[in-house]
Structure 1
Amino acid sequence: MQHYRPETLCVQGGYTPGNGEPRQIPIVQSTTFKYATSQDMGKLFDLEANGYFYSRLQNPTCDYVAAKIAALEGGTAAMLTSSGQAANFFALFNIATCGDHIVSSSSIYGGTFNLIAVTMAKMGIQVTFVSPDCSDEELEAAFRPNTKAVFGETIANPALTVLDIERFAAAAHAHGVPLIVDNTFATPVGCRPFDWGADIVTHSTTKYMDGHG
């Protein structure tokens, strides 16, 4: 696989225009998309064809931006959600369901702490919080037979504690579960968690990723 500098990926990643196509990613503002027949639409609904029919589900601009972030992170694929909290929720809730358990760093964004400790607890998902500086023995003791994922932040918001991604990834993988890392503060320019063993990376793009927050 060819490697590019982050500066190049910021400009060029995720989008390769063809002849006569816009040089920059176009902003597609339509909520719906036209098809000649209902059969064409039916193929989209049945996942037999690729395409767009409603921007709440997929939108070309969003797909290009997701592809750019995936390229910056060195990931396989990406998707956009309505918020960073939605990204964390989907990442966790697609893996852990009622009756399952999560191990999480205790030094994470307050909204994410509340999401895991309160909101997801109401859905029957339990959590054990560990300090990012915990001993190997304490980290190992946090796991249960029903643990489905490990969660942490590259650089915690707002405590600024740094997660030892390699160590948490090794512990997660030893138990056959993925490590999910919120990389909002670092961005892929500062750190690429996949390079250190993370399996899923999330962002709140209204912070450093977009450069205005």
Structure 2
Amino acid sequence: MLRSDAQQNRLLLLDAACDLIAEAGTDDISARDIADRAGVSSATLYRHFPSKQALIDAISVDRWERMSQWARSSRGARSPIRHITTVLDRFSRLVSDDAQFIQAAGLKVGQTPAAIRPVREVFDARFDELWRSAQAAGAVQRWADPRDAVELVGSIRSKERRAPMLATVVGGFVAPQVDVHHLLRGTPQPF
């Protein structure tokens, strides 16, 4: 567990790297540029990340850790289908907000870099559990696969088209009796 100041520096570095990569791409920025944008020293950057690629991977790992946390925290009184749509809504906001970073970093939907795989597996297990519960309750089509829903939502890049695209994806896997628009109206803001 990192000290609070070290955790804050790590978050500053992740945000700075994400912003700079979105603006200039991976080839045109240096570790020094990232450290300067974050307001920390290069030594601090290298204490957290041994290379620029490790920092880029950490940005993606951080996002999947958030996804896992959202999927874990969605236990409670709400229905599994409501939890699923909340997680997918948050994911679509995250991806559309980071569309320029994703493109500049060369990340591809459906291709999980090795650094992300363990965190993604934690998310997949919890999301699959929610999915099976929603299927058992009759809210999700029996033939639908949670990996498809996540992959399709992960391809949403347009902030302006995010909501209707999410409704299209959700409408494709919920059972006919589920009112998609009512379901999505109840999704909270993620941040």
The question of a shared fold, defined as TM-score above 0.5 by the shorter chain, is answered with no
> Taking CA–CA contacts closer than 8 Å with sequence separation of 6 or more, which of the two structures ends up with the larger relative contact order?
2
CA radius of gyration, larger in = 1
Structure with the larger helix share: 2
Structure with the larger strand share: 1
TM-score, scaled to structure 1? 0.27
TM-score, scaled to structure 2? 0.30
